[in-house]
Structure 1
Amino acid sequence: MAYQATKAALRQLVAHRVVPGVSYAFVDGDCVESGVMGQAAWVPQVEPLRAGMTYDVASLTKVVGTLSVTLQLLAQGRLHLEDPVTIWLPAFRDSRVTIRHLLTHTSGITGYIPNRNQLTAADLTAALLGLHVGPTFNVKMVYADVNYIFMGWIIEAILGVPVQVAVQRRVLNPLGMTHSTFTPTDPLACIPTAVTATRGLVRGSVHDPKGYVLQRRCGSAGLFSTVADLVRFCQAYWHPEQFASVLPPTWVHRLIADWTPTGQDGRSLGWALTATQWPQAHRVLWHSGFTGTYLAIDPATQQAMVFLTNRVHPKAPNLPYLDQRNAVLGTYLAEKQGRR
């Protein structure tokens, strides 16, 4: 493997100080090429980036953790895509919204929560359940954390444990993702994220404000992981039959379909979809995290890219990163064609 153009694009992110550093892996079946570039931190002092460091992967929590448990429940018949959310969360009250809407971000759930980040967990829970359904319901994909926060609570209602406990037991442990956790014990092994007025330098604690309030009951963010563990997760997608209790094969193989109500929004269950042309036109799964993390998985060719940064260090939102991140993905998709 070489991926010289993609690695050059990653080096540009570091050289132009768009991000402090990058940890990456290119996966071609059983072959893995990984590496690091740049720094782990700029403040309070410059710190070298080391291989194997742990990242707050933010919204990758949705697809690695919450979606995986949801697929298990669907495969077991304990949950159905067309179930109204109100079956499990009666306080929500709008029976039009289904599990499919949550998983594809087509629920239309919206609304403003005053002082959201200062609320207690109980008050934030009540406020989220009190949100209304807007005009995008069932007709447009609008990405929103609330969908997977609700999914986490539904998982809790079915299994009787907080969603993050369920993910640890039912996904991370059985897949052997031994360095992945929701509760890091060594902050210095973690890549720091933002410096905030209220929390100072955030390191070894979830960056996402809602995740920080909800803790174990948050299904949208909170996972910490490493390149090696995420490579293991990607490779499990090649052969879900070998991990059937964790990644139900029937459902995993169907993830390349557009599951939105219109079938036109480029969204699967959990994953976003993009197209590649080699060896013939097909879809690739991808997802990003606010902190600067990214996964792209091509089940058809058994290829993947793991791309981890802390682009919110020392402060968010770092908008220039977004365009360059998308350019990196485009370069990777073009470069991987013909390598298998």
Structure 2
Amino acid sequence: MKQEIIVAQIEKLVQDDVIPGASFAFVTATESQSFVIGDSQVQPTREPLQQNMLYDLASVTKVVGTTTRIFQLIAQGKLTFDTKVAKLLPRFKLLDVTLKDLLLHQAGLPGDFSNKHQLSQADLIEAIYQCEQPIYPIGSQTLYSDIGYILLGWIIEVFDGSLGQGMQKFIFEPLEMTNTGYHLAQPLSRFVPTECTKERGCIRGKCHDHKAFLLAGESGSAGLFSTLTDLIHFVQMMLNQGCYQGKEVLSSVAFDWLKEYQQGSRTLGWEVLQPDIYYHTGFTGTSLLVDMKRQNGFILLTNRIHPSRDNQAFVEARKEIVARFIS
């Protein structure tokens, strides 16, 4: 009954033109039920949404890719939560910041740079390394920060050489996520468009996030593309304590860490909606929920910023949908 109400809610959002369309799934440890509703785009022409189209995950990159790979490196003993960031990235000036601080968004870093649209790639990299004073005492509060997750991406590159190749080898291949990555060699028609802007036109097949775009589309904070099917595999791995099809992709100890390091409504990488319910959204209209206690999950993929980012109505409606799912 609850599922039927959620399906009806999403159908109404499409009918009311709050979003062009939606790909979503209800997931358990072994099964899933998928839905595809509406259009993939409304500008310049309407195109129907197809099965398994590619979505720009935006900040959902932070959990599907970055947090998961960092957890793997910690489980292998290559890193610890207390590893100082400056030990791995010597140009970083906040010498007391640890991996744990970055994962919890408590590193004293700004959430973003207000002048990012005036920056070149070199300027952006320099601005991150020039953060010399924390904007609040490290560890004293939570301020969601893309900058911290860009740094985590660079830390992964210290070990893997390439952020995308490391995630491919250690996360996406074991999970049979064959349509997930930063730069996918797929026809443009498979990508769901995001925002239509004066500078970039209707963005399709390239990441929307400006900082990730400056970083050649490959960043720890944003930039991954994926499909509903691939994300079902990811959620099922989480529900199975790190295992997928009998293979351990993520050590089960990671699920102890998620509880151990929880602070208020956040834990390492994830938002915590209720005990054992982990959640993350992306600016483009993507979201992922994993309920470890009830052993189910919910994936909702939309391009709510197409054609324009001025769409708070969807954000409010999604809160209601998620509240219903976990009720």
Bin for the TM-score computed over the shorter chain: over 0.9
Contact 2:207 2:213 in 1 (8 A): yes
Q: Which amino acid aligns with 1:171?
A: I
TM-score by length of 1: 0.90
The reply to whether residue 55 of structure 1 matches residue 58 of structure 2 is: no
Tell me the residue number matched to 2:270. Answer: 271
1:117 matched to 2:117? The reply is: yes
Letter of the aligned partner of 1:75 in structure 2? A
Gaps of 5+ in 1: 276-281, 335-340
* Residue 238 (1) aligns with residue 239 (2): yes
Cα deviation 1:28-68 (Å, max 9, x = unaligned):
23221111111110100111111111100111111011111
Contact 1:102 1:148 in 2 (8 A): yes
Structure 1 position 114, deviation (Å): 6.5
Match for residue 34 of structure 1? 34
Amino acid at match of 1:329: V
Which residue identity is paired with 1:30?
T
Aligned to 1:36, the other structure's residue is in SS state: strand
Cα 1:9/1:178, change in 2 over 3 Å: same
Amino acid at match of 1:272: E
Distance in 2 separating the partners of 1:173 and 1:300 = 27
Task: Give per-residue Cα distances to partners, 1:2-46, cap 9 Å, x unaligned.
Answer: 711111221222122211111100012322111111111010011
Q: Secondary structure at the match of 1:133?
A: coil
Aligned Cα root-mean-square deviation (Å): 1.8
CA apart distance, 1:113:
4.4
Q: Which amino acid aligns with 1:204?
A: G
Deviation at 1:81, TM superposition (A): 0.5
Q: Matched residues in 2 for 1:292 and 1:111: separation? A: 19
2:281 counterpart of 1:288? yes
Q: TM-score, normalised by structure 2?
A: 0.93
SS of alignment partner, residue 52 of structure 1: coil
Is the Cα–Cα contact under 8 Å of residues 25 and 34 in structure 2 kept in the other structure? Answer: yes
Query: What CA deviation, in whole Å up to 9, does each residue of 1:230-264 have, x standing for no partner?
Result: 001100112224432x312211x22541625xx3x
Shift of 1:301: 2.5
Q: Distance in 1 between matches of 2:218 and 2:179?
A: 21
- Pairwise CA distance, 1:191: 0.2
Partner of 2:38, secondary structure, is: strand
* Contact residue 162 and residue 217 of structure 1 kept, 8 A: no
Query: What percent of counterpart residues are identical?
Result: 35
Structure 1 residues 211, 111: closer, same or farther in 2, change over 3 A? closer
User: Which is worse superposed, 80-89 or 302-311?
Assistant: 80-89
Alignment-derived partner of residue 253 in structure 2: 250
Instruction: Specify the SS of the correspondent of 2:58.
Output: coil
May I ask how many residue pairs the two structures share in their alignment? 322
SS in 2 for 1:257: helix
**Equivalences for residues 7-26 of structure 1 within 5 A:** 7-26=7-26
1:338 matched residue in structure 2: none
Instruction: Look up the SS of the partner of 1:106 in the other structure.
Output: coil
Residue 174 (1) aligns with residue 177 (2): no
Deviation (angstroms), 1:105: 0.7
Partner of residue 74, structure 1: 74
> Does 2:139 match 1:138?
yes
Stretch deviating more after TM superposition (108-117 or 193-202):
108-117
